[in-house]
Amino acid sequence: MLLFSIDPECRFAHALASELGESLSALEDRAFEDGEHKLRPLVDPRGHDAYVIASLYGGPLLSPHDKLFQLLMFSATLREHGAGRVTAVVPYLAYARKDRQTKPHDPLTLRYVAQLFEAVGIAQVIVLEAHNVAAFQNAFRCLTLHVPAHEVFDPFVHEIVGVEPLAVASPDPGGVKRAQLWRESLEHRLVRPVGFAMVDKRRSAGLISSSNLVAGDVDGMTVLLLDDLIAGGDTMKRAADALRRAGAHRVVACAAHGLFTAGAPEVLAPPAVDQLLVTDSVPPFRLPVTGAVSRKLRIVSAAPRFADAIRACRVDLPG
């Protein structure tokens, strides 16, 4: 197999390569004065099973659009030069949140991204905790592999919670299935009952409203509040406040992708959220090095689970 990283400094890519016992294959990234780039593999991809790592978050240097285009161009180049199969390893998939039309003339950006992947010959896509798993799987016509975030967090729960009474909660109705799957997984792993709760939430035109209604019993429990991502933090903060009012002893906010966009450090600083647990799909470059949120933050690597997924789907191609 060949393993490439669009970002040579990506810590997740190096961690994944280490888990697989592989080295990242060399590529040339040549920048031109007008901002264009040329990406070229420095090894012959002909006949190889090739994996291209690119987490499509907006970073300090490149936008999601830049990273998406580079992934598409490099994948097309590998196919052009005979790669037997190209897999896009995309821990954070940009544009996945817009998976249905809620306003007149809305775009379906997830489907459009899927069509771009397929157009350049990408054969399969591996992502971490899609916003809506069913929509993700239905948007793509190529093979998809979905890594649930709870499989990344599972090994750390006993360390965080101990023997305290435990519940898993969703911060909104849309995440109920995600939270239920984690509750079932934890009951199997911990061999004890795990409660479940849901917090009511509505979003329209970017504004969040909530009646602070909590469905489920969390009184005296440590609550693992699970979502696919944290952006501005308002959803997690409102849900944590509601759970505290419902009697939760502690709230651990867990998300696959810690985007921490503008205002998140201030929103998440109050004590309603005791701890923040995220993966390394997005580095926390927007957070201050010190402060309340940084003290609460714990980052766990999704690389072992991605390595498992790649081992399960890799193939030995003829020739």
Kindly report the CA angle at 61 between 23 and 109, in degrees rounded to 5? Answer: 90
Question: Could you give the CA distance from residue 259 to residue 245 in angstroms, rounded to a whole number?
Answer: 27
Question: Could you give the CA distance from residue 278 to residue 104 in angstroms, rounded to a whole number?
Answer: 34
3-state SS string over 259-275? Answer: CCCCCHHHHHCCCCCCE
Q: Between 3.30.565.10, 3.40.50.2020, 3.50.70.10, 3.40.50.11540, what CATH number should domain 151-300 receive?
A: 3.40.50.2020
Question: Could you give the CA distance from residue 224 to residue 310 in angstroms, rounded to a whole number?
Answer: 28
Kindly report the CA angle at 311 between 305 and 316, in degrees rounded to 5? Answer: 160
Q: Which of 310, 300, 255 is nearest to 152 (CA)?
A: 300
Strands (E), 13-60: 27-31, 37-41, 49-53
The pLDDT of residue 204 is 54
Q: Which regions in the chain score pLDDT beneath 50?
A: none
Q: What are the domain boundaries of the chain? A: 2-147, 151-300
Question: Could you give the CA distance from residue 86 to residue 51 in angstroms, rounded to a whole number?
Answer: 6
The predicted model scores a pTM of: 0.94
Question: Could you give the CA distance from residue 215 to residue 168 in angstroms, rounded to a whole number?
Answer: 12
CA 32 to chain centre: 31
| Equal CATH topology for 2-147 and 151-300 | yes
- Identify whether the C-beta of residue 253 lies closer than 8 Å to the C-beta of residue 230: yes
The pLDDT of residue 7 is 93
Question: Could you give the CA distance from residue 22 to residue 314 in angstroms, rounded to a whole number?
Answer: 13
Question: Could you give the CA distance from residue 173 to residue 127 in angstroms, rounded to a whole number?
Answer: 22
Q: Between 3.30.60.50, 3.40.250.10, 3.30.1600.10, 3.40.50.2020, what CATH number should domain 2-147 receive?
A: 3.40.50.2020
Question: Could you give the CA distance from residue 319 to residue 305 in angstroms, rounded to a whole number?
Answer: 29
- Identify whether the C-beta of residue 4 lies closer than 8 Å to the C-beta of residue 24: yes
